[in-house]
Amino acid sequence: MLIANPENGRQDGNIDMNGFTVNGRGYRLPAGPVAVICVDGCEEEYLDVALAQGRMPSMARILEGGWRGSARGALPSFTNVNNAAIVTGAPPAITGLSGNFFLDPDTGEEVMMNSADFLRCETVLAAAARAGRKVAMVTAKEKLRDLLSPGLLTDGVIGMAFSSEKAAEARQPTHGISGVEALAGETPPIYSGEASVYVLRAGAALVAAGQADFLYLSLTDYIQHKYAPHEEGALEFYGAMDVELGRLVDLGCRLGITADHGMNAKCREDGTPRVIYLEDELYEEFGDGNKVICPITDPYVAHHGALGSYVTVHLAEPGRAAEIAGWIKSLEGVTEVLEKTQAADLLELPVDRIGDLIVMSAADTVLGRSPEHHDLSQLDRPLRSHGGRFETMVPLIFSGPLNAEYAAKAAADPRNFDVFDYVCNGLEQ
């Protein structure tokens, strides 16, 4: 039944009293607060080790009455790609987000895809806000907030969207909230674990204050790039997150927890990074004019030097794609090479925002352009990164048991970007 939304009187056509539909999927709205958390870069092992060492008592409590499995994330296994998929419930072919970065075929320029203009479909968050929920999106990085906030702060819909990075700058007219520091504390540095813990703390404070009841809390992977699961730096971080997870559960939140991608060590035994500089390799074999784009690139590259396990290649002679793909495939450390249409089909990518080839590398190997494009001077520890096939499996956790239909769905084809669907439609609690 389609009726006017009681909160704003609009008749959007896709709203009814019990939920909403967005990107072809219906969502029921549970009575209590809902929070979906994207623990950026959360390879399963981080949780396994922290739980085994007793560092996550709240998570252990959540799992006792809840559900834990694994889900497949979207490729490339990068942050913007998967955050966009999660908040829309749709794959990259629909969201339009193929990386943090792409080569615009119209202008030939390399463009950072971190503004709202690049998102091609509506978000679950905007739809929930229109359906009358008090929606809050809190991200660690400001650029992610910009990317994912369309519809939430515009068109007369007042949700909230702010980042821990720019917490002090949040203002009612532009962010839907002022006084974030009074709510959650002083703005943390972006290159810190606190940037993530702050997101969870702010979320819990909003629920406690009755200011939000439908939340998306998206963290940053600074710690996971820096520390392996068994290292104290990681364990301390997961312990600090756990305190806030406990608060959210105690506040009666229905939780869905997943990640945008995993994380692997990308180095040799001596700790030096294992890199294939693909643009240089192509130059030596095929001459000038082939361009490698590293879509992991964003304004925050100090902790990975813009090196990930997925790149896309724009060829000087696209007619030679099959031949060049075959040659790239023979390079040691390369695991997959796909031509454009094949990649768009198999990986559900937007065909106009990828190059002629996409290339992925092994769990321990990253792909780059040439050494001068990658500043590794700020890497103070062995390189850990993501982007390829080996970082697509991520945790999928719910604070309650799944109903039979969604348990079957989770057994058949669990995807991280269905997490809002599970939380709204699939939990028994």
Buried b (16+ CB within 10 A) or exposed e, 238-272: bbbbbebbbbbbebebbbbbbbbbbbbbbbeeeee
The answer to whether residues 229 and 355 touch, using CB atoms and an 8 Å cutoff, is: no
Q: Residue 41 CB, nearest distance to Zn ion (Å)?
A: 5
| Sole binder of Zn ion in the list 142, 194, 221, 421 (CB under 5 A) | 221
Q: Which of residues 242-271 bind Zn ion (CB under 5 A)?
A: 260
By beta-carbon proximity to Zn ion, the closer residue of 164 and 290 is 164
By beta-carbon proximity to Zn ion, the closer residue of 213 and 221 is 221
Contacts of 76 (CB under 8 A, 6+ apart): 98, 99, 295, 296, 308, 310, 347, 358, 360, 387, 388
By beta-carbon proximity to Zn ion, the closer residue of 77 and 425 is 77
Residue nearest to Zn ion (CB): 79
- Full strand arrangement of the beta sheet holding 334-339: 291-293, 310-314, 357-361, 334-339
Q: Count the residues of the shown chain that bind Zn ion, applying the rule CB under 5 A.
A: 4
3-state secondary structure 407-423: HHHHHHCCEHHHHHHHH
By beta-carbon proximity to Zn ion, the closer residue of 306 and 402 is 306
Task: Using alpha carbons, select from 135, 38, 400, 405 the residue that is nearest to residue 254.
Answer: 400
Give the whole-angstrom CA distance, residue 236 versus residue 233. 5
Cis peptide before 295 (omega within 30 of 0): no
Q: Residue 221 CB, nearest distance to Zn ion (Å)?
A: 4
| SS3 at position 20 | strand
Cα dihedral 128→133→139→143 (10° resolution): 50
By beta-carbon proximity to Zn ion, the closer residue of 260 and 281 is 260
Q: Which residues pair with 291 in a beta bridge?
A: 314
- Decide: is 336 part of the binding site for Zn ion (CB under 5 A): no
By beta-carbon proximity to Zn ion, the closer residue of 164 and 425 is 164
Q: Which of residues 380-419 bind Zn ion (CB under 5 A)?
A: none
Give the whole-angstrom CA distance, residue 281 versus residue 66. 49
Q: Residue 83 CB, nearest distance to Zn ion (Å)?
A: 8
By beta-carbon proximity to Zn ion, the closer residue of 221 and 356 is 221
Q: Which stretch, 73-81, 158-166, 266-274, 285-293, contacts Zn ion (CB under 5 A)?
A: 73-81
Q: Residue 329 CB, nearest distance to Zn ion (Å)?
A: 27
Q: Residue 79 CB, nearest distance to Zn ion (Å)?
A: 3
By beta-carbon proximity to Zn ion, the closer residue of 139 and 425 is 139
Q: Residue 243 CB, nearest distance to Zn ion (Å)?
A: 22
Q: Which stretch, 71-79, 242-250, 330-338, 421-429, contacts Zn ion (CB under 5 A)?
A: 71-79
| SS3 at position 17 | coil
Residues in the chain: 429
How far does CA 103 lie from the centroid of its chain? Answer: 21
Q: Residue 26 CB, nearest distance to Zn ion (Å)?
A: 29
Task: Using alpha carbons, select from 93, 75, 83, 156 the residue that is nearest to residue 123.
Answer: 83
Q: Residue 80 CB, nearest distance to Zn ion (Å)?
A: 8
Q: Residue 76 CB, nearest distance to Zn ion (Å)?
A: 11
| Sole binder of Zn ion in the list 37, 40, 228, 310 (CB under 5 A) | 40
By beta-carbon proximity to Zn ion, the closer residue of 40 and 122 is 40
| Sole binder of Zn ion in the list 79, 80, 123, 163 (CB under 5 A) | 79
**Which residues form the interface with Zn ion (CB under 5 A)?**
40, 79, 221, 260
